[in-house]
Every structure is written in C-alpha cells, then in structure tokens.
Structure 1
Amino acid sequence: MTLHAVRLLGFADTPRVAARFGLDRDDTSSLLEDFRADGWVTTSEFAGTAGWSLTDRGRAADERLLADELAATGARETVVQVHERFVPLNARFQDTVTRWQLRPIGGNSFAANDHTDFRWDDRVIASLRSVGRRLGGLEDDLVRVLPRFTGYARRYDAAMARVVAGQRQWVDGVEVDSCHLVWIQLHEDLLATLGLERGDGR
C-alpha cells in the first residue's frame, strides 16, 4: 500500500503517503527508503516542497503487486464491472468540471468562467452532486472485494459540502482534497488495478 499510495498521490511527502492508507509513518519512511534503493521511487522538489514519486520501475512493480492482489482475491470481475460503469460517469464528470472552468460567452467557447452567473454555477454544482451520488454504489461493490477502495465517496461528499458552502476551490483545486482530486485518484486506482493506461479511451 505504500508504493500504491505514491502512485495515487503522484507527488507527496512521507506523512501524506502514510496517511493515504492509514499506515505507520516510521514504517512508511523505512519502506520508501528501501524502494528508493530498489529504484522504485525518487525524491524531488517542486514549489519548495519535497516529495516522493514513482519511477517507471516502481510503476511496473506496483502493477505486479496489484495483479497479484487481484489473483489472490478473485476480485478482477467485480473491478472490471465497476470500471465499465465508471467510464460513462467519468465522461459526465469531466464535462461538468469543464463547465465549471469555462462558460462560453460572446461566441468564445473557451471563455473562463468568472463565476458571476450564479444560475450557471448552480446547475454545475447540481450536476456534481448528482454524479457524486453514484460513487457510493460503485465504492460499495469495490470494497466488498478490495477494502482498500474505502473512502472515495466520503472524501467526495466532504469536498462537495465545502462547494455548497461557497468554497469554490473545492471543485477542482489541487491544494485541497477537492472533488476533482478525489475523482482522478479513483480513476487512477481503477486503471492501475486493472493494468490499464490513462488516455486510451477508457
């Protein structure tokens, strides 16, 4: 789970890696150093923050471990079925986030949404809530076979509550556990678990 946490987070310091699956921080730190020695992870600094990220070797190692997990648990069929249900929901979510970021005006299809049209934003928020309500069922099916999928729906709902309260950065912000951040981590988790690549139409 330490290696997989690095993959899902993309770039994170040791406390965040440990927190992703509720792991012991000291054990996580030790494992990360072992993984660095194996060439599976590397450290770098971005915007004044140091963190861990996967190497290509680490990504391959994570995929082997996930494949072993699927074989041991017999969970592949369930994850495949959930992913198939997720794909059209993902398309709807991505369209909704685009409408949050852009609001066509005056013939400009790519005009930035300045969030002054409250009716527009209210419709987008309603769509985000509608999509979010579907996550619970997907997560329930996943957790029955792979408990590590626990928490996505709760995190999304928590971000959604912030959005409804007027905190717009919780839609797509990268500095908070936003709806978009939760969503892309779930997407990555599904793809990684099934050994699929992002951007291949799935």
Structure 2
Amino acid sequence: MSRASDPAVLVLHAVRVLGSGDDRAVAARYGLDVAAVHEELLDLEAFGLVTWAEFAGTGGWSLTQRGRAEDDRRLAAELAADPSGRAGAVVADALTTFAPLNARVLRACTDWQLRPGPGGRLDVNDHADPAWDGRVLDELAAVVDEVRPLLTGLEDELRRFAGYDERLGDALRAARAGHGARVAAVGASSVHGVWMELHEDLLATAGVPRGA
C-alpha cells in the first residue's frame, strides 16, 4: 500500500524540489493548506532550515545547507520505516532506469532551444521549422511514455511521487498546442521544470548527491 508522508516532511521537501517558492507554491506542491504551511515554514525558518529571500518584488523560501541535511535525514527515516525494504529498492531501481531517460530529455530540451546553423555552428532555434520541433516533441513524448511505469512504481510505494505523470502530460499537450514555453522554460509548468523536480526528488530520496 502506498505510504503517505508526514506533512512536516512534505513542507520541507517541497521547498527542496521547487528550489524556491512562496507559501502558496509550497502548499500547492502537495495539496496542503496554505495557512498551515505558512506556520510550518516559520518554524523551519526559526530552526535555520529554510530562508526567505526577495528580489525585484518577488520572494520565495529556499533550503539552507542545514535544511538540506535535515531533509536528507527525514527522507532516509521515511524509507527506513518501511519494514519490507521495498520502497528503498524501488527508488534505487527507478534512479538507475531514470539516468538514460534524463540524458534524452536534456538533449531534447537543448534541441528545442538550439539547432545546427551554417558552418556547423549552433544557432538559437527560431521555431520556423515545424519538422524539427515536431521531432523534439515526439522524442519528449516517447520519454514520458517510458517513464510512466517508473512513476507508477514509485507512487505505489510513496504517495508523494503522485502527479508527475499528469504534469508532464499537461506540459506536452500545451507545447503541442503551440505554447512553446511549456517545453523548456524556467518554472514548474514546463516539461523541463517538472522533469528537474522529479530528478531532484529521486536523488534526494535515494540519498544520492546531485552530480555524484
């Protein structure tokens, strides 16, 4: 049976996978109450686990180094609480399967932004070639199809992995409908943004430092 994470775990972890987000963004990540999340974030701030920063009129919470270590500890404890050990094994297997898919997504997102120009140099993709863009979208769709069994297995063990499938599908459908920013733009609504959250989620849950 899929295990639900403690709300306190979800709030701290939401800040991590988002990278930065205000109260509403953090609450929305796992469908939590905004007021309760705000109080939890203030507690986390008091313990030095998160910090608030503003720039150009916008602000967001992010993890401190101590907060990242605490998130690692809580995620490890969550896996250790599974007496069967199945959740940890599923996460480890998923990370291995994910690696080649991740390389394909990064390559496709690069192809969305850049394409070969005269003399072999790379030029900014002006999206004037529908065949080129179509191939990129087809590749992303193929990768999303391949990652779905992985996501199902993760969600069956840890409920907080729910939603990635739907978000990736939504971004792809929007991109095919002409909203090109939904491919690789910065933010949680693009294919690349959702994929990066999933990557961070997997690495953190498996206890593997990024870049290891």
Q: TM-score range by the shorter chain?
A: over 0.9
SS of 1:199 mapped into structure 2: coil
- TM-fit CA distance, 1:199: 2.0
- Contact 2:101–2:147 under 8 Å retained in 1: no
1:23 corresponds, among 20, 25, 32, to: 32
SS of 2:194 mapped into structure 1: helix
Distance in 2 between residues matched to 1:137 and 1:90, nearest whole Å: 15
CA deviation profile, 1:53-105 (whole Å, cap 9, x unmatched): 00000000000000000111231111000111000110111111111111011
**Mapped pair 1:116 → 2:128:** yes
Say which structure, 1 or 2, has more relative contact order (CA 8 Å, 6+ apart): 2
- TM-fit CA distance, 1:139: 0.8
Q: Percent identity?
A: 49
Distance in 2 between residues matched to 1:176 and 1:194, nearest whole Å: 22
CA deviation profile, 1:139-178 (whole Å, cap 9, x unmatched): 1100111111000010000000001101100001124511
CA deviation profile, 1:93-132 (whole Å, cap 9, x unmatched): 1111111111011124321111111111111111011111
Distance in 2 between residues matched to 1:131 and 1:23, nearest whole Å: 30
Runs of 4 or more off by more than 4 Å in structure 1? Answer: none
Structure 2 length-normalised TM: 0.91
Structure 1 length-normalised TM: 0.96
| Unmatched runs of 5 consecutive residues or more in structure 2 | 1-9
Change (3 A) 1:47 1:134: farther
Q: Which moved more, 1:115-124 or 1:177-186?
A: 115-124
- Contact 1:170–1:176 under 8 Å retained in 2: no
- Contact 2:144–2:168 under 8 Å retained in 1: yes
Distance in 1 between residues matched to 2:97 and 2:106, nearest whole Å: 15
Q: Please show how residues 51-200 of structure 1 align to structure 2 within 5 Å.
A: 51-73=60-82, 74=85, 75-175=87-187, 177-200=189-212
Distance in 1 between residues matched to 2:47 and 2:151, nearest whole Å: 33
Give the match for residue 43 of structure 2.
34
1:50 corresponds, among 49, 53, 59, to: 59
- TM-fit CA distance, 1:5: 0.2
Distance in 1 between residues matched to 2:39 and 2:123, nearest whole Å: 48
Distance in 2 between residues matched to 1:175 and 1:156, nearest whole Å: 13
RMSD over aligned Cα, in angstroms?
1.1
